Structure 1
Amino acid sequence: MNKDSQQHIIFDMDDTLIHCNKYFDLILGEFFDLMTQWFHDYGVTVEQIRTKQMEIDVAGVDKLGFASANFPQSLIDTYRYFCKQHHKEPVLREEEQLFKLGLSVYDQEIEAYPGMVETLDTLQNEGHRLYLYTGGESRIQKRKIEQMKLADFFEDRIYIRQHKNVKALEEILSAGRFNRSLTWMIGNSLRTDVVPALTAGINSIYIKQQREWHYNLVELKQEPHNVLYTVSALTEVPDIIAEKAIAIS
């Protein structure tokens, strides 16, 4: 491949390459069951619990980033909120049960999105340079990377950040001296993938999921001056990159 047409492609991991949100949804389902049992006599609904947990969870991520304790703590804080609302004394055993339940989300078996290996293979074989940029705690994210054998594609070009925002992406791009016109951010989050990419002046492909975590959904306030595509499947990415590479070769 002509070096001028080689693209630098940065991939998000969770819910871009591998499943993530569905495991949180499974745990939340168990949480809602417990809460409606414990607060049955107070008329608390699943929708009320869902709304409050989401509010607490998003506030925690804004403050602490993708810390592993944030999700289980959001379950406990939601429980405490409804205890206070209904003058119910919190039970330590129930709080401990919720913390254990919340942490169990990180023990789920890891599953790739359809076409993950084929997509990365295609891009690698076409001569593009692949990078992985994921939000979370190093220990948890490294375990996923190892289980999915992602180093086969990304080698040492892997960035793990607890806060995944405009500043974090800008630091990566500046340190790596990326040619921004030839660089892409691929991800499922408008908040942590697309908006930082557009702000940094690189191209972006937004993989729109059918069901998205509320935290990821933000409004695109400005018209992008660089390239932005929206797709519904990971397997659509290589064709878009190929078109761009041909156009500049």
Structure 2
Amino acid sequence: MSKSQISLIGLDADDTLWHNEYFFQLTQKRFLELLADHAESTHASARLLEAEKRNLAIYGFGIKGFTLSMIETALEITAGRVPASVIQEILDAGRDLLAHPVETLPGVEDTVEKLASAYKLVLITKGDLFDQERKLAQSGLGEMFKAVEIVSDKNRGTYERIFSQHGEGPDQSVMVGNSLKSDVVPAIEAGGWGIFVPHEHVWAVEHADAPVDAPRFREAARFDDIAEIIEKL
């Protein structure tokens, strides 16, 4: 493939390269069923989201923080009377999440291989260190990345550092991901390009408006459209 002015491509992991949020939603459904005798699902779901947002600064992103937030919500909703058996089921659900198999999304393997032949690829992801390393290893994509950045958050400073440390600076760097809030908007704010690849399942915390007026914003209908988009930058 021909090479554009881009020298570095950052790729998000969860729900960009492989399925993730779907498993969280299944686990949340299981959690709501466990608390059905104590609260309506809409109320329990709202309380859980509040706990997740509140705990991000303490536990960070990932399954362990999600599990602790479920336990905290169960205690709050039941005024501390939640049965130990329910707590155990929540813990089991968290363990199941940490063990779920990695399934790459359509077009990912071929596209990543094609991009790796022409550009420096960096995996840029949030979440638990061990879990993200496990998923990358199981995906079979690890050897295609020149670097892996598992960060506590994704903001303008994160991308300024990564684009400068691993590439030729933001001007020649692009970030690809399914989250407008974490992958696209801050990468553009840092001076790079942002390519949005929509996914049907998006965590409520990751919602943001598309920066449609930003000159460096692009949207790909499918992951395997990315190579052609980057060639034209």
What is the deviation of 1:237?
Answer: 0.7
Q: Give the match's secondary structure for 2:29.
A: helix
Pairing 1:134–2:125 present? yes
Q: Aligned-residue CA RMSD in angstroms?
A: 2.3
Count of aligned residue pairs for this structure pair: 233
Cα distance 1:49–1:203, how it changes in 2: closer, same or farther (>3 A)? same
Deviation of 1:178 after TM superposition, in Å, equals: 2.6
SS of the equivalent of 1:5 reads coil
More helix by share: 1
- 1:209 pairs with 2:192: no
Is 1:149 the counterpart of 2:140? The answer is yes
Match in the other structure for 2:232: 243
Mapped pair 1:124 → 2:113: no
Pair 1:220–1:240, CA change in 2 (3 A): closer
Q: For 2:125, what is the secondary structure of its paired residue?
A: strand
- Alignment partner, residue 184 of structure 1: 174
- Structure 1 consecutive aligned stretches of length 4 or more whose deviation exceeds 6 Å: 1-4
Percent identity of equivalent pairs: 25
Cα distance in 1 between the residues matched to 2:48 and 2:4: 48
Higher-Rg structure is: 1
Task: Find out whether 1:20 has 2:14 as its counterpart.
Answer: no
Q: Specify the code of the residue in structure 2 equivalent to 1:128.
A: Y
1:118 shift after superposition: 1.2
CA-CA distance at 1:103 after TM superposition: 3.2
Counterpart among 204, 217, 220 of residue 228 in structure 1: 217
Q: 1:64 & 1:74 partners in 2: Cα distance?
A: 9
The TM-score, its normalising length taken from structure 1, stands at 0.84
Q: Following TM superposition, by how much is the alpha carbon of 1:4 offset from its aligned partner in structure 2, in angstroms?
A: 7.0
Structure 1: segments with no counterpart, 5+ residues = 245-249
Deviations 1:172-205 (A, max 9, x none): 2233353322210000112211121011010010
CA distance in 1, matches of 2:212, 2:104: 33
Alignment check: 8 A CA contact 2:164 2:170 kept: no
| Partner residue in 1 for 2:56 | 61
2-side partners of 1:128 and 1:61: how far apart?
33
Q: Output the CA distance in 1 between the equivalents of 2:217 and 2:189.
A: 12
**C-alpha displacement of 1:209:** 1.6
Q: What is the TM-score of this pair, normalised by structure 2?
A: 0.90
Mapped to 1, the partners of 2:120 and 2:164 lie a distance apart of 17
Measured against aligned partners, the alpha-carbon deviations of 1:16-67 in whole angstroms (never above 9, x if no partner) come to: 011100111111121111111x42xxxx211111111122112222443225
Match of 1:100 in 2: 92
Secondary structure of the 1:163 match is coil
**Is 1:164 the counterpart of 2:154 in the alignment?**
yes
- Unaligned runs of 5+ residues in structure 2 are none
Specify whether residues 100 and 185 from structure 1 end up closer, same or farther in structure 2 by C-alpha distance, changes over 3 A only: same
Letter in 2 for 1:69: K
Are the aligned partners of 2:34 and 2:86 in contact in 1 as well (CA < 8 Å)?
A: no
